[in-house]
Amino acid sequence: MTESILLLPLLLIVLGLPVVFLLRRMGLTNPKAGWLLSTFPLAAFFILLYAYTLLPHGKPLFFRLPWIPSLGLNFSLYLDGLAALFGLIITGIGALVVLYTGYYFDDAHPTRPTSGETHKSSLEVRFFAYILLFMLAMLGVVLAGDFITMFIFWEGTSISSFLLIGYKYKDEAARKGAFKSLFITGGGGIALLAGCLFVIHLTGSADWNTVIAGRELLTNSPLYPAFFTLIVFGAFTKSAQFPAHIWLPEAMSAPTPASAFLHSATMVKAGIYLLARLNPALGGTDLWFWVLSGFGLITMLAGAYLGSKQNDLKPLLAYSTVSQLGVLVALIAQQSEIAFKALVISILAHALYKSALFMAAGIIDHETGTRDLRQLGGLRKQMPILFAITSIAALSMAGLPPLFGFLAKETLLASATHPGLPPIIDSLFPLTTVLAGALILFQAAILVWGVFLAPPADPKHPPHGHDPRPGFWLPPAIPALLSLLIGITPIEPAFLANFLADSAKAAYGAKVKVSLALWTGINVPLLLSIVAVSLGAALFWQRNRLRAALMTFLPDLTVNRLYDWTLRGLDWLAKTATHLQGGQVRVYLRVIAISAVSLYLLLGGFPPLSLLPSPQWNLHGLNGLRAFSLVIMAVAALSTIFLRRDLFSVLALGVVGLSVAVWMALEPAPDVALVQVVVDILTTVILILGLNAIPRKQRDRANELLHSRRGMTRDWFVAGIFGLAVALTTFTALELRPRESLVSPYYAENAKPMTGAKDIVGAIVVDFRGSDTLIEIMVFGMAGVAIYTLFHFGARKPGEASTQETLQTLPARMPRGIYALPTSPLLHTLAYVMLPLAFLLGATHMMYGHDQPGDGFTAGVIISLAIAMWYIVFGYQETRRKLTWLNRNNLVATGLTLALLNALLGVALGEGFFAPVNYGDRLSLPLPPGFSLSSAFLFEVAICLTVMGAATLMIDNLGRIREDENA
């Protein structure tokens, strides 16, 4: 179980997170919290070191937990030399950075950082939490044992880096920088995920061992260019390769501890780690070599060049990081032993000196209040300790002996002059390296010179500052000192050399020999190094002229414009997309109509033309009445379009419905005809009431628009293409459908014996397909409730009185009809008589509906229409006063409850849900002939109640508005 030790470092960092919040409760100061929290990564560092010593010879540790077994995916951890190198850098520098953070945010100190916001005296919980979160993600990336685990942590670094860069979120630059980094690295992440999936798809497994073993398969796959591009794109965006590097300088708006950690030592190296990790699996191809060399060299040069133009310490360091990342990518491209030796040495050396420099820059900022070279200078005497630290680190960055950086540069030059290099690269590589080396040396020099040695740039306002407390300078001092110690130690540290050799082996795929001796004799690399140093010194000598020239004449080479254009392009497309959504239903309708009909034609096609010649015009059933109703129907339908007043259109629509009813009655389908008649009348009444609820002006305007030339054309078009689709379907249906449906004969045969219904329509509605009916009456009920809610609550203006209040305040008055028109006593009598008659009719419908035309629905509508008549004759208030028993909502509730209970009763009686049960027979009740007390009857009652409730809700609420206006 030694593998499970790999979980420990991650768990330790996770453990640190709740501790952060605990510390706030305890009211600890930032520096103390820093000391305390840094023990977590420190412990992780030692555990990793210990775990590394446990590695059996040449064999990595591999820990796995099944994560998604159904897809064969694991959560796995993996430790070999390469992972250990990165893991130790992350936890080691991480511990220092956490300690440093505590002092960076220390308020007890007299001077405050001015570039940031003023800090509250409370603990910077957020920052500590983010940095630990980031550390967890980063450690996960390098310790992951497979693509998916790695990717999960990879995205974690993007998100936590977003949070860290945007830490000072009130600052717009911080927000922009945070978004930019997430946009670019997030985009890379998506590419990387796709690339990973390609590899998993090909090798059948995500873990490193299998992937590396699948090298032949992968490099020979025709898909190689695709997933190579995707993965490399992901790595390049993360590791800030030109032209994706643009996010890195802007990420410098993060607080300095974050920059020191993320943007120099760790996160930007995630891409490097990935490429190094995959080199044995994907490397060695021409594509790999040329793409990595090309981008690496360009980035190396671009970073070095751009860094030389900076005045702000942090961007200067950021660009030199970009340059260094280019170096690393170019090294991975080479397939030589020396290149991988250079790779591991450079990674370590860079992590040491760059983190020291960043932290030192943070201290300078913290103490003097500025990081601008144009305001600094002469700090050597005020800050001797910091001067020493910065000088050592800068010398290492410049690649001067006796520092570790010198060794890194020597090996780099050695691999740049490796005899195995192909033409073009064999001259470009050394040339670029020398040039970039000179520029980097120049940067290191102006950094030290500008801050410490030169007289203050602005003599009137010389910077003030002094060395901070030891806890603050210790974090940069340690890596700086290490850079020095590794360089000058007389005895080669064998452990380190072997360790680096082991790391390089993992990336190279074969054994690599690493020695840490600085002096290797006079050879080409040394000569080139001397050239680079002399060139750098010359540049430094001419620094003022050079920098002036750089700033004025040479381009910024930033591809920020590309990024801006991309974003602007996206925004433009986004605007366009939202503009397509103009808000007019008539436009929507047209688009949907065209799409729907073309989809219809595409999928269904025109009916086969062979059907056309043989329509059998069956005219013998066309008698006078049918022909008459047909003509009425057509005329009325056309009138709905041509009549200019909406009220008349509605009436014409009613006529259409009635003539359909005539057809039904003649078919003969008296049941359907009856329902059609009552529904048609109810619809017309509701529509007319609804029209009255719309202000006159709006109705006139709508009429005008509808009957304009454009409106008519539009409507003809929409109606025409829909009509076409419907006509085609009807035609096909008439020609092709089987004459007998499957279920109809069954219904006809079984309606009477099984449901007790003589006609099959009733049986289908109430019995065979009763649950459709249940839901449909619920739809109707909800429509009523919806209208009620809208008029009582939703559409009520603020301050408007509720119905109840209005009713109470109005004086009793003589019955007046709708619109407050006087109505005749004859009508009153009629209304009085109609209501009980309607109830009677409704009751018979329900009782005998199963045998005769008519059902609960008809009953409900008939009663509602009688009530509607009261509204017309007596007026709104009067009807409400008179019909106090009419509680509309309760009717709906009762009806629905009854329907559900009735259906459930079948279950209780063992007949099944919604099954027909004849209670009359069961209880042997004496019932009048022709009436049976069955579940069907109860259901009819339920339907009647619901419909009554809903219909009167609509009538009541729609009828109200207009009257209030008139009152």
Partner 1 sequence: MTSYWLLPPLLLPLAGVPLTLALRKYPRSQQIAALLVMFAALLSTLTLLRQVLRHTALTLQLGAWPFPFGISLTADLPGTFMLTMSHLVLMAGFLYAAGSTEKVTRYPTFYTLFFALAAGLSGAFLTGDLFNLFVFAEIIVISGAALTANADEPAGVEAAYKYFYISTLAAMFFLLGVGALYAAYGTLNLADLARQIASTPLSPLALAGLAFLAVTFFIKSAAVPFHFWQPDFHAAAPTAISAMLSSLVVKVGVYGFLRLTTLLFPTVSLLKTLLVLVGIAGVVYGGFGAAGTHNAKRMLAYSTLAQIGFILVGLGWGTPFSIAAALVFAFNHALIKAAMLMLAGAMASRAAVKSASFSVVVGVGKYHPFAGILFLLGGMALAGIPPLNGFVSKFLIFWSGLDSANYLSLAVLGLASILTVTYVIRAFMRIWFETNPEAKPKAGDSLLAPALLIALSLVLGIWADPLIVLAQTSAQWLNDPQNYIRWVIGSG
Of residues 210-269, which lie at the interface with partner 1 (CB under 8 A)? 226
Number of residues that bind partner 1 (CB under 8 A): 116
Contact flags string 181-210 toward partner 1, x per CB under 8 A = -xx--xx-xxx-xx--xx-xx---------
The amino acid that residue 396 corresponds to is S
484-518 burial, b for 16+ CB within 10 Å, e for fewer?
bebbeeeeeeeeebebbbbbbbbbbbeebebebeb
Select from 548, 702, 821, 907 the one that contacts partner 1 (CB under 8 A): 907
β-strand partners of 78: 62
Find the shortest distance in angstroms from Cβ 781 to partner 1: 8
Nearer to partner 1, 830 or 907 (CB): 907
Q: Which of 388, 513, 380, 384 is nearest to 450 (CA)?
A: 380
Handedness of CA 801, 807, 811, 813 (dihedral sign): positive
Select from 106, 767, 878, 956 the one that contacts partner 1 (CB under 8 A): 767
Check binding of 178 to partner 1 (CB under 8 A). Answer: yes
Name the one range near partner 1 by CB under 8 A: 4-12, 62-70, 555-563, 646-654. Answer: 62-70
Contact flags string 914-953 toward partner 1, x per CB under 8 A = xxx-------------------------------------
Select from 7, 17, 19, 159 the one that contacts partner 1 (CB under 8 A): 159
Q: Cis check for the bond before 66: say yes or no (omega within 30 of 0).
A: no
For 848, half-sphere exposure in the C-beta direction (CA atoms, 13 angstrom radius) is 9
600-615 burial, b for 16+ CB within 10 Å, e for fewer?
beeeeeeeeeeeeeee
Strands (E), 443-484: none
DSSP 66: E
Where in 719-748 is the site for partner 1 (CB under 8 A)? 726, 728-729, 732-733, 736-738, 740-744, 746-747
Nearer to partner 1, 472 or 914 (CB): 914
Nearer to partner 1, 104 or 788 (CB): 788
Name the one range near partner 1 by CB under 8 A: 511-519, 676-684, 764-772, 806-814. Answer: 764-772
Quote the tokens at residue 147: 């693509």
Find the shortest distance in angstroms from Cβ 697 to partner 1: 17
What DSSP letter does each residue of 838-861 carry, written as one string? HHHHHHHHHHHTTTSS--HHHHHH
Q: What is the rounded distance in angstroms from the CA atom of residue 594 to the CA atom of residue 196?
A: 42
- Look at the block and give the residue holding tokens 């628009």: 705
Find the shortest distance in angstroms from Cβ 693 to partner 1: 12
Estimate to the nearest angstrom the gap between the alpha carbon of 910 and the chain centroid: 50
Select from 771, 802, 829, 966 the one that contacts partner 1 (CB under 8 A): 771
- Look at the block and give the residue holding tokens 């680190």: 393
Quote the tokens at residue 964: 């209030």
Find the shortest distance in angstroms from Cβ 889 to partner 1: 6
Find the shortest distance in angstroms from Cβ 795 to partner 1: 7
Find the shortest distance in angstroms from Cβ 220 to partner 1: 18
Select from 495, 519, 648, 913 the one that contacts partner 1 (CB under 8 A): 913
Nearer to partner 1, 262 or 400 (CB): 262
Where in 573-592 is the site for partner 1 (CB under 8 A)? 573-578, 580-581, 583, 585, 587-589, 591-592
Q: What is the rounded distance in angstroms from the CA atom of residue 863 to the CA atom of residue 950?
A: 12
Where in 513-552 is the site for partner 1 (CB under 8 A)? none
SS3 letters for 665-730?
Answer: HHCCCHHHHHHHHHHHHHHHHHHHHHHHHCCHHHHHHHHHHHCCHHHHHHHHHHHHHHHHHHHHHH
CB 275 within 8 A of CB 232: yes
Where in 260-319 is the site for partner 1 (CB under 8 A)? none
Nearer to partner 1, 152 or 431 (CB): 152
Estimate to the nearest angstrom the gap between the alpha carbon of 50 and the chain centroid: 41
Select from 779, 821, 830, 909 the one that contacts partner 1 (CB under 8 A): 779
Q: What is the rounded distance in angstroms from the CA atom of residue 879 to the CA atom of residue 868?
A: 9
Find the shortest distance in angstroms from Cβ 792 to partner 1: 8
Find the shortest distance in angstroms from Cβ 485 to partner 1: 40
Give the CA radius of gyration of the chain: 43
Check binding of 35 to partner 1 (CB under 8 A). Answer: no
- What element of type H or E holds 544? helix 543-552
The amino acid that residue 97 corresponds to is V
Q: What is the rounded distance in angstroms from the CA atom of residue 300 to the CA atom of residue 328?
A: 9
Q: Which of 145, 189, 34 is nearest to 96 (CA)?
A: 34
Select from 80, 124, 146, 155 the one that contacts partner 1 (CB under 8 A): 155
Find the shortest distance in angstroms from Cβ 189 to partner 1: 8
Quote the tokens at residue 415: 């691999």
Select from 109, 626, 769, 882 the one that contacts partner 1 (CB under 8 A): 769
Helices then strands, counting H and E runs in the chain, come out as: 39, 2
Estimate to the nearest angstrom the gap between the alpha carbon of 210 and the chain centroid: 32
Nearer to partner 1, 71 or 627 (CB): 71
Select from 384, 470, 912, 930 the one that contacts partner 1 (CB under 8 A): 912
Nearer to partner 1, 321 or 952 (CB): 952
Among the residues of 74-223, which ranges form H helices? 81-104, 125-143, 147-165, 172-203, 208-213, 215-220
Q: What is the rounded distance in angstroms from the CA atom of residue 958 to the CA atom of residue 688?
A: 9
Nearer to partner 1, 594 or 625 (CB): 594
Select from 173, 524, 596, 807 the one that contacts partner 1 (CB under 8 A): 596
Find the shortest distance in angstroms from Cβ 657 to partner 1: 16
Nearer to partner 1, 631 or 901 (CB): 901
Find the shortest distance in angstroms from Cβ 84 to partner 1: 24
Estimate to the nearest angstrom the gap between the alpha carbon of 373 and the chain centroid: 42
Find the shortest distance in angstroms from Cβ 551 to partner 1: 32
Q: What is the rounded distance in angstroms from the CA atom of residue 316 to the CA atom of residue 296?
A: 19
Check binding of 68 to partner 1 (CB under 8 A). Answer: yes
- Look at the block and give the residue holding tokens 């329907």: 899
Check binding of 698 to partner 1 (CB under 8 A). Answer: no
Quote the tokens at residue 183: 């946009």
Find the shortest distance in angstroms from Cβ 392 to partner 1: 38
Find the shortest distance in angstroms from Cβ 841 to partner 1: 26
Find the shortest distance in angstroms from Cβ 742 to partner 1: 4
Where in 347-406 is the site for partner 1 (CB under 8 A)? none
- What element of type H or E holds 79? strand 73-79
Nearer to partner 1, 557 or 734 (CB): 734
Find the shortest distance in angstroms from Cβ 277 to partner 1: 19
Check binding of 714 to partner 1 (CB under 8 A). Answer: no
- Look at the block and give the residue holding tokens 């027909």: 916
Where in 867-896 is the site for partner 1 (CB under 8 A)? 889-890, 892-896
- How many CB atoms sit inside 10 A of residue 470's CB? 10
Find the shortest distance in angstroms from Cβ 173 to partner 1: 12
Find the shortest distance in angstroms from Cβ 193 to partner 1: 6
Where in 617-676 is the site for partner 1 (CB under 8 A)? none
Select from 152, 516, 526, 927 the one that contacts partner 1 (CB under 8 A): 152
Where in 783-822 is the site for partner 1 (CB under 8 A)? 783, 785-786, 788-790, 793-795
Q: Which of 545, 535, 674, 502 is nearest to 86 (CA)?
A: 502
Nearer to partner 1, 244 or 532 (CB): 244
Q: What is the dihedral of CA 708, 714, 715, 717, to 10 degrees?
A: 140
Estimate to the nearest angstrom the gap between the alpha carbon of 964 and the chain centroid: 49
β-strand partners of 61: 79
